[in-house]
Structure 1
Amino acid sequence: MSGAAVEPRPPIGRTLVYLAWVVTMAFFFANAEIQIEGGAGWATSLPTWRIENNIWLDLFWGGRAMTGYHAWVFTFMMLVFFSPLAFQGRWTLRDWGLALAGLIVFWVCEDFLWFLINPAFGFENFNPVKAFWHKHWLWGAPVDYWGGLAVALLILVRRHWPRRAR
């Protein structure tokens, strides 16, 4: 047989353990955010700046307000997920993709868990009327959930495709 050797794929088990860790982190962060926001989702009662109704927010933020709280929290969590790359000094595309997929899964799970375990909400209030800051819904969930999970899944599937060695 001729041809280039196939580079080994990362173990799927390691990726699944990583995703379980990400969901665990989302659970703890959702609980912390419930303590911060209470029943007033999307920082509606927090003493923070807000930018509402902006074309850029419609395009890149799902139409939600940008708040100082979310700007700092989202940036901090991005740094958390990408910190292993910085610590290792290794910025491979596969590692970068895993960090990005983890960050996406984290925010989708954290947001859903916020509704699920928040005593002021619960699953029965997970709808466009009560969660008014999520402007676009599809199949019973915010469109961002579906789009984010699709992107994360594509990244993770691509991570485990065999690659030809150069």
Structure 2
Amino acid sequence: MAFFFANVEIQIEGSAGWAANLPTWRIEKHWLLDIFWGGRAMTGYHAWVFSFMALVFFSPLAFNGKWEWRDAALALAGVMTFWMVEDFVWFVANPAYGWAKFDPVHVAWHPHWFLGAPVDYWIGLGGAVLIVWLLHRSGRVRR
């Protein structure tokens, strides 16, 4: 799913990542963006896309007719993993970038990097692994 969505975004954004050339509203600077958005701009495009994908991952909880915290935690881990993979595939599959330009010099909208990847990836990976590990440890993951 992340591969397909990344390719949709490549068609929408082209070489101008983070909706730079899209006709959408943008909030460039705000202290909450530093905390919750990794210092990146908040755009109308991202507000709608992130909300839509959260609904995609959490809608099975509504459709199965019952709410369980375990399922909500797994949906959260899933959406976190989805966005990390989708973002990475966007760079690798995008003809304007590719693996060679996956770095802080060419990707200005990811301002913080660690060990060759945006810090967001490490936080997301750590969060998703922690969620699954805690659920597994507590016996709340179905086998």
1:159 Cα deviation after fit? 1.9
1:107 Cα deviation after fit? 0.2
Greater alpha carbon shift after TM alignment, 102-111 vs 150-159? 150-159
Hey, what's the Cα distance between the residues in 1 that align with 2:138 and 2:119?
31
Q: 1:105 aligns with which of 81, 94, 97?
A: 81
1:89 Cα deviation after fit? 1.9
> Residues 151-166 of structure 1 correspond to what in structure 2 (within 5 A)?
151-163=127-139
Hey, what's the Cα distance between the residues in 2 that align with 1:73 and 1:50?
14
Larger RCO: Structure 1 or Structure 2 (Cα < 8 Å, ≥ 6 residues apart)?
Answer: 1
SS in 1 for 2:103: coil
Higher radius of gyration, 1 or 2: 1
Which residue in 1 is equivalent to 2:41? 65
Hey, what's the Cα distance between the residues in 2 that align with 1:39 and 1:63?
20
Which residue in 2 is equivalent to 1:138? 114
Q: Deviations over 1:57-108 (max 9, x none)?
A: 0111000000000000000000000000000122211100110000000000
1:162 Cα deviation after fit? 4.2
SS in 2 for 1:160: helix
Hey, what's the Cα distance between the residues in 2 that align with 1:54 and 1:77?
24
Q: 2:30 aligns with which of 44, 54, 59?
A: 54
Percentage identity across paired residues of the two chains? 66
Q: Normalising by structure 2, what TM-score?
A: 0.95
Number of residues of Structure 1 aligned to a counterpart in Structure 2: 140
SS in 1 for 2:137: coil
Q: Deviations over 1:28-63 (max 9, x none)?
A: 000000000001000001011000011110111000
